[in-house]
Amino acid sequence: MTGMAEQQATISKLSGEIMQEHRSLWSDTWRHFVRHRLALISLITMVVVASAIIVGPFFISYDPERIDFAAKNESPSLAHPMGTDELGRDQLVRVLEGGRISLAVALAAVSVAMTVGVLFGAVAGYAGGWVDNALMRVVDVFYSLPGLFILILLVTIIGPGFLTIVVAIGILRWMGAARLVRASFLSLKEKEFVESARAAGAGRVRIIFRHILPNALSPIIVAGTLGIAGAILTESALSFLGLGFQPPQATWGRMLQEAQRSVLNDGHWWRGFFPGLMIFISVLSVNFIGDGLRDAVDPRRIQQ
C-alpha cells in the first residue's frame, strides 16, 4: 500500500514539474528581471532618484532660485548636503529641480525616437520591396549624420526650448529602433497568424498595430531603455556646452557648465561633483536596467 502512495506522490511531483503554471509574457519577464541583481538594484536606485526629483523639492524649505548671500559658496554640510553656489542657492534643491528637466527631456526624446522608429520600421518591413529599400536608405543617411554637430546646429538655429531639444535629440536617435522593427516585421509578416488575420478580413493598419507590433515589442523596449541613458548624456553634453537650457533653469549639464569656473579657480568641488554624479548614477542605472531587460526578454534564455 505504501508503494501505491509513493507512486502517487512521484507522479504528482513529476507532473508538477512538467505542468508549468500559466504566466503571461510580462510576469515571466519580470521574474527573470528580478534575478538579475544589478538590474534590480539599479531599478530601485532609479525609483529613488525619480521620487526624490518629483517630490523632493516640496520637502526642502529652500527655494531653488532664492539668493542668500549670507550662505554663499558653502561646502556640503547638514543644512546644505550638496553645498551652495556663489549666490547662496542650495545645491541639493537645484540638483533635484534640474533632474526633473534632465530626465523629462530624456524620456520625451526617447518617446519621440521610438515612435518615429517604430512607424518607419513597421512601414518598411510590412511593405517590403522598393518602399523598404527607399526608407532604409533614409535610415542610412541619418546614421551617417554627425549627431552632436547636427544637434548643436538645430539648437543654435531654432533656439533652445524644451520642444526643440526633445525633437532634436529624438530625430537623431530613431534609426536603431527602425532597423529592429523592420527586421521583426520582415519575418513576422510571413507567419501563419498574420495570414489568418488577413483571411479574417483585418485591414493593413489593424494587422500592423494589433497583430504584428505586439510581437515585435520586446527588442524595442530594450533599445528604448538603453536609449534613455544615451539621451541623458546627450542633453547634458548639450547643456554643458552652454547650448541647452538657459539659466535660471537648471539641468545637470547646465549646472556643471556653470560650476566649471568655480571648481577650477576656487576649488569648490561640490559645485561640479554632485550634478555630474547624478548624471553618472542615472546613466549607469539605466544601462543596467536595459541589460537586465535584454536578458529577461531573450527567448533563448527560456530554453537554457
Partner 1 sequence: MSRYVIRRTLQAIPLLIGISIIIFGMIQMTPGGPLAVNENTSARGRVTEEDLQRLREKYGLDDPLYIQYLNWSRDAAQGDFGTSFNTGLPVLTMIGERLPTTLLVMGLAFGVTLILSIPIGILAAVKRYTIFDYLTTSISFLGIAIPSFWFAIMLMYLFSFTLGWLPSVGLSDPRADHTGLAGIWDRITHLIMPVSVLALTSTASITRYVRASMLDVISQDYVRTARAKGLSEQVIVWVHALKNAAIPIVTVLALEIPDLFIGAVIVESIFAISGMGRLFIESANLRDYPVLMGVLTISAGLVIFFNLVADVIYGMLDPRIRYT
Using CB under 8 A, list all residues that contact partner 1. 137-138, 140-150, 152-154, 156-158, 229, 233, 236-237, 240-241, 243, 253, 256, 259-260, 263-265, 267, 269, 272-273, 275-277, 279-280, 283-284, 287-288
Would you mind telling me the total number of residues written for the chain in this entry? 304
Q: Which is nearer to partner 1, 219 or 253 (CB)?
A: 253
CB of 289 vs partner 1, minimal distance in Å: 12
Q: Which is nearer to partner 1, 53 or 188 (CB)?
A: 53
Convert 157-193 to b/e letters by CB count within 10 Å (16 or more is b).
eeebeeebbbbbbbbbbbbbbbbbbbebbeebbeeee
CB of 147 vs partner 1, minimal distance in Å: 6
CB of 237 vs partner 1, minimal distance in Å: 6
> Burial level of 11, CB count in 10 A (0-12/13-18/19+)?
exposed
Q: Which is nearer to partner 1, 42 or 62 (CB)?
A: 42
> Burial level of 83, CB count in 10 A (0-12/13-18/19+)?
buried
Q: Which is nearer to partner 1, 24 or 144 (CB)?
A: 144
CB of 149 vs partner 1, minimal distance in Å: 6
What stretches of the chain show up as alpha helix (H) in DSSP?
Answer: 2-18, 25-33, 37-59, 91-127, 129-143, 147-158, 162-171, 175-188, 192-199, 204-206, 217-240, 252-266, 269-297, 300-303
Closest by CA to 236, choosing from 268, 259, 220, is: 259
CB of 229 vs partner 1, minimal distance in Å: 7
Q: Which is nearer to partner 1, 5 or 157 (CB)?
A: 157
Q: Which is nearer to partner 1, 175 or 212 (CB)?
A: 175
CB of 140 vs partner 1, minimal distance in Å: 6
